[in-house]
Amino acid sequence: MRISLFVPCFVDQIYPQVAWSVVRVLEELGHQVDFPEGQSCCGQPPFNTGYWDEARTAARVALAAFRDSEVVVGPSGSCVAMMKVFYPQLFKGDSQELEARELAAKTHEFSSFLVNTLGVTDLGAKFEGKVTFHDGCHGLRELGVKKEPRALLANVRGLELLEMAEAESCCGFGGTFAVKFPTISTAMDEVKCASILETGADVVVSNDSSCLMQIRGMLDKQKSTIRSLHLAEVLASR
Amino acid sequence: MSDGKTIILNRIREALRENPAPRPHASHTSSDQEETPRDHTPREWLPKVGERLDEQIDLFARQSEGLKTEFHRCGTMEDARAILSVLVAEGAWKKIATHTTPDTSALLEKNRAEILKTDTGYQIDDLESCDAGITGCECLVAQTGAILVSAPSAGGRALSVLPPHHIIIARTSQMVPDLTAALELAKERYGNKFPSFLSFITGPSRTGDIERILVLGAHGPKRLTVLLLED
Amino acid sequence: MTTFASEFKKMAGRYTADLTHRAFIKKALSGYYQKRDDSKASFQSWQGARDLAAETKYEAVNHLDRYLVEFAEKIEARGAKIFWAPSAREARDYILGVARENGVRSIIKSKTMTSEEIHLNDALEKEGYGVFESDLGEYIVQLRKEPPYHLVFPAMHLTRGQISDLFQKELGSAPTDSPEELTMIARRVMRRKYCEADMGISGANFAVAETGMISITENEGNARLTTSLPRIHVAILGIEKVLPRLEDLALFLPMLATAGAGQQMTCYNTMYGGPRQPGEIDGPEQMHVVLLDNRRTELLADAEQRDTLGCIRCGACLNVCPIFKNVGGYSYGTTYQGPIGSVITPHLRGLQDWKHLSAASSLCGACTEACPVKIDLHHHLLQNRRNAAAAKPVMIEKISFLGFAWLMSHPSIYHLAAKLGRVFQPLHPIVNGTFLDPLIAWTRSRAFPNLAPTSFHEQWKKSRK
Ligand code: SF4
């Protein structure tokens, strides 16, 4: 299958290794990965803040970039939800509504694509360590991704999954919310990190890099030695 | 007064005119989503209840236990009287309130506490000073362990809530499987002449308002006893 | 920023900094989660029940005129008086009028958030009436002269020690740390009040059109006493409370109990169809039902958010909300706290004044998932943000996002800018966490990641072409 990679802007700039892990995993499965270079940001920041005109401007770039793609796969539940769930709303009544719907239909979150579209759960990965998994809220509640990452982690050799009590609690990122209401956002982050610590895991894994940025921010502040990795990075380890 | 009515109804009609709302959100997928078919009755989704009477009585008994309702199956009226006399002795009850039905009268036959009957009205303070209230009911609901009472079947509104111990006397024929059946029964029985008061009682009065810790007997009865007789 | 917004930020700052409070709220809710899950599990399908509840409310709300009239006619035929109150003031005036005309002296109330909404107690007290809240939690916060902290658990923020101190001071009772004894103190005080009161004021959880009844859900029995003993019963309810059929209660009573308190059924679910009927031995001589609009019809007119009128005020969305759990009930400054309050308050009290509540959310969606009637809560927060920005954009945001959108639609310039960012990044540690730091809102409490030496874009270009 020819798969177009959707790399959210902050993954592009901060976590390129996550995007490479996705490429590696998909290519090892024998698929052809391309990267439409016109892409930039999905438009979520202005969208979530209420500036839908500006969000549409950014989103049109994505519509153009992925116009010829067969399927689009991205390693962030949040940005994929933006395309899959919110583009159709954003473009309602717009001349590009149909295009937005088409993109929504062919876009998939990475773990859900592996499990539900490709039907694979064992990628032959090896990863020694105790891991706890954080469900990114958009992946979890907008896209209904919950079992998929766990099915994939279950087949990683050497990996022990320790569920945290607050697995489904929001990390507090929420885009511009994190800087508009830093005290609340940080309080949520504290709850999350306390729950991570409680498990005794040495790595926190998520299918959303934006959550990991928030969680890492707190762990670093607390000088914690717990590592944070994107699911793709774990699945690409050998 | 009709003014307010016209204003509100006009606002409502204006708001609803040519302005259809989206159906209950089809867009949302919950993470623990199962199949979500429509056009069903509550019965299909609510807790399941067995069809046989003994299953229903067992379920009612189990629910009662969780609710802290003191549930007794009584073979005969004599058994029921025995339970009552233990309660009277334990609590050193001086005064019991009730209303007249064949069963309440039979239950109280050999009792020696003073009796207050609410049949033709009562003084509030008088009723308040009673140690217990004994009433009948409309039906028992196996599904939730609830008892449906009404003004006529429970001696008015207050008898079943003001005294600190509420005793209900019922017959096995009054057992219904679920809430739907209980409401249907009330409709059949009263048609358009509903009593002004109907209440599902589900366990003794309780509160969790202090540190979410359960305390029984907040304002209503601290204890609820159900005496179930065979027909 | 409006004063409401800055007040919210101030309060939220104070409460999030109070770790003891946060831990206390967390602990208070932990038992609820367990019980709620157990109760949900007893359903054959909780999701099926949610769908049906949402459908039923959809039907009711989208034919609100028809069902309200049916309800009103049925209950009037049995002797109740209906008052249609377009606004809060008219509702208050009517209730004051009833009290005056009947020479009322003492008023007992059972829990009603609708009366909080219209500030009924203040109005009654100003006219010299003694008003007593009979619900234990409500009574406690009334004694403290505070509003309810949570729309279902009004006093959940208080420890038994605080309540004991309060009772000592206000009631002269002996100190105790037993919730049971504290409850009994309140029970004894309230017993006298029930017997003396000549007017009882209640809310209602549902109004049944088919049979002309209101239905009240409670655990303590205080609502039953409030509606049984005084000679006048006034029920105040929002116009959205109506349900088409009596059988609908078979669904809604257990759902409300499950979502609201983690019970399969609450202790008392009582249906009142009028004042004392001929042949009945007790109950009030008069029953007044106040149907309150107070801008609910504005919510109704917003088709996108009309489903919010299906709200059964169960509080489930508060209980799972990470914002609520951290900022607590008082930061909101609203009658209805938590997600539902953040959604509807802008409609009820002004979008520009209350839009900050819609912004103060990470949009995690836990509320929507918890809501028994499937109100699309977190998406409504997004819509409020959109509506607020469209009606009155915040200039600095508007300009930033215009710039952002322009940058993102010119990828080559965007990539150049990102490169520039890398040039300046080494300077960040110098200002990190100080007021000069452009990222201060983030870095004050969290570490900010470094940009990668080169972006994925650049790496891909190099390696794959
Ligand atoms: S919005 Fe839903 S969850 Fe929140 S109080 Fe209303 S019914 Fe309950």
For C341-387, write each residue's pLDDT tens digit. Answer: 999 999 999 999 999 999 999 999 999 999 999 999 999 999 999 99
Look over chain A and give the mean of its residue pLDDT values, rounded to a whole number: 96
Interface residue B209 vs chain C (CB under 8 A): yes
Q: What token pair was written down for C169?
A: 């001071």
Q: Is residue C124 part of a domain?
A: yes
Residue A205's SS3 state is strand
Please give the pLDDT value at position C436: 67
Q: Range of C154's domain?
A: 64-294
| Whether residue C250 sits in one domain with residue C348 | no
Cα C444 to Cα C463: distance, rounded to the nearest angstrom: 38
Q: What token pair was written down for A88?
A: 């159709």
CA distance A197 to chain C (A): 17
pLDDT at C102 over 90: yes
| Whether residue C324 sits in one domain with residue C247 | no
Q: Which residues of A touch C16 (CB under 8 A)?
A: 183-184, 186-187
Report how far apart, in Å, the C-alpha atoms of A97 and of each of A86, A88, C4 are. 11, 6, 38
Report how far apart, in Å, the C-alpha atoms of C364 and of each of B116, C381, C427 are. 58, 11, 34
Query: What is the whole-number distance in angstroms between the Cα of residue C89 and the centre of ligand 1?
Result: 26
State pTM to two decimals.
0.94
Q: Which residues of C touch A179 (CB under 8 A)?
A: 441-442
* Mean predicted confidence (pLDDT) in A126-139: 97
pLDDT tens figures, C35-90: 999 999 999 999 999 999 999 999 999 999 999 999 999 999 999 999 999 999 99
Query: Please, are residues C167 and C185 in contact by the beta-carbon 8 Å criterion?
Result: yes
Residue type, C360: A
Please give the pLDDT value at position C428: 73
Query: Please, are residues A213 and A187 in contact by the beta-carbon 8 Å criterion?
Result: no
Q: Is residue C250 part of a domain?
A: yes
Subunits with 3+ Cβ pairs within 8 Å of A are B, C
pLDDT at B34 over 70: no
* Mean predicted confidence (pLDDT) in C3-7: 93
| Whether residue C327 sits in one domain with residue C442 | no
DSSP string for C3-72: HHHHHHHHHHHHHHH-HHHHHHHHHHHHHHHHHHHHHHHTSS-HHHHHHHHHHHHHHHHHTHHHHHHHHH
Q: Answer with the one of C237, C266, C294 that is the final residue of a domain.
A: C294
Subunits with 3+ Cβ pairs within 8 Å of C are A, B
What sections of chain B are H helices per DSSP? 2-16, 42-45, 53-67, 77-91, 102-107, 124-128, 179-190
Please give the pLDDT value at position B1: 46
Residue B224's SS3 state is strand
Confidence of residue C138 (pLDDT cuts 50, 70, 90): very high
What sections of C262-295 are H helices per DSSP? none
Q: Is C311 in the pocket of ligand 1 (CB under 6 A)?
A: yes
pLDDT tens figures, A15-45: 999 999 999 999 999 999 999 988 988 999 9
Contact C364/A220, CB-based, under 8 Å?
no
Crossing angle for the helix pair C3-17 and C19-41, to the nearest 10 degrees: 90
| Residue extents of the structural domains in chain B | 53-229
Crossing angle for the helix pair C411-424 and C395-408, to the nearest 10 degrees: 110
Q: Answer with the one of C391, C423, C449 that is the final residue of a domain.
A: C391
CATH of the domain at C320: 1.10.1060.10
* Mean predicted confidence (pLDDT) in B217-221: 96
* Mean predicted confidence (pLDDT) in C437-455: 84
CATH of the domain at C231: 3.40.50.10420
Cα B146 to Cα B142: distance, rounded to the nearest angstrom: 7
Q: Is residue C384 part of a domain?
A: yes
Residue B135: Cβ within 10 Å count: 25
Please give the pLDDT value at position B33: 45
pLDDT tens figures, A187-196: 999 999 999 9
> Could you tell me the end-to-end alpha-carbon distance of chain B, in angstroms, rounded to an integer?
52
DSSP bridge pairs for A133 = A205
Question: Domains in chain A, start-ordered, CATH in brackets?
Answer: 2-116 (no CATH), 123-235 (3.40.50.11810)
* Mean predicted confidence (pLDDT) in B13-35: 65
Q: Which of C341, C345, C342, C338 lies closest to C318, judged by CA?
A: C338
pLDDT at C296 over 70: yes
Crossing angle for the helix pair C46-62 and C248-261, to the nearest 10 degrees: 120
Determine the topology of domain B53-229 in CATH.
Rossmann fold (3.40.50)
Contact C159/B30, CB-based, under 8 Å?
no
| Whether residue C232 sits in one domain with residue C324 | no
Contact A144/B31, CB-based, under 8 Å?
yes
Q: What token pair was written down for C244?
A: 């088409």
DSSP string for C209-271: TTTTEEEEEESSSHHHHHHHSSSEEEEEEEGGGEES-TTHHHHHHHHHHHHHHS-SS-SEEEE
| Whether residue C416 sits in one domain with residue C370 | no
| Whether residue C214 sits in one domain with residue C72 | yes
Q: Is C315 in the pocket of ligand 1 (CB under 6 A)?
A: yes
| Whether residue C256 sits in one domain with residue C208 | yes
Q: Taking the alpha carbons of B25, B29, B33, B36 in that order, is the dihedral positive or negative?
A: positive
Contact A13/C455, CB-based, under 8 Å?
yes
Number of domains in chain C: 3
Question: Largest Cα–Cα distance of chain C, in whole Å?
Answer: 93
Please give the pLDDT value at position C418: 80
Q: Degrees (nearest 5) of the Cα angle B12, B13, B14?
A: 90
Q: Which residues of C touch A38 (CB under 8 A)?
A: 411
What's the complex ipTM?
0.95
Contact C446/A189, CB-based, under 8 Å?
yes
Instruction: Look at phi and psi of residue C333 and say left if phi exceeds 0, alpha if psi is from -120 to 50, else beta.
Output: left
Residue B2 CA neighbour count, 13 Å, CB half: 1
Q: Which residues of A touch B33 (CB under 8 A)?
A: 144
Please give the pLDDT value at position B27: 37
* Mean predicted confidence (pLDDT) in C165-184: 96
Query: Please, are residues C311 and C374 in contact by the beta-carbon 8 Å criterion?
Result: no
pLDDT tens figures, B162-195: 999 999 999 999 999 999 999 999 999 999 899 9
| Whether residue C234 sits in one domain with residue C111 | yes
* Mean predicted confidence (pLDDT) in A208-226: 95
Cα B145 to Cα C257: distance, rounded to the nearest angstrom: 14
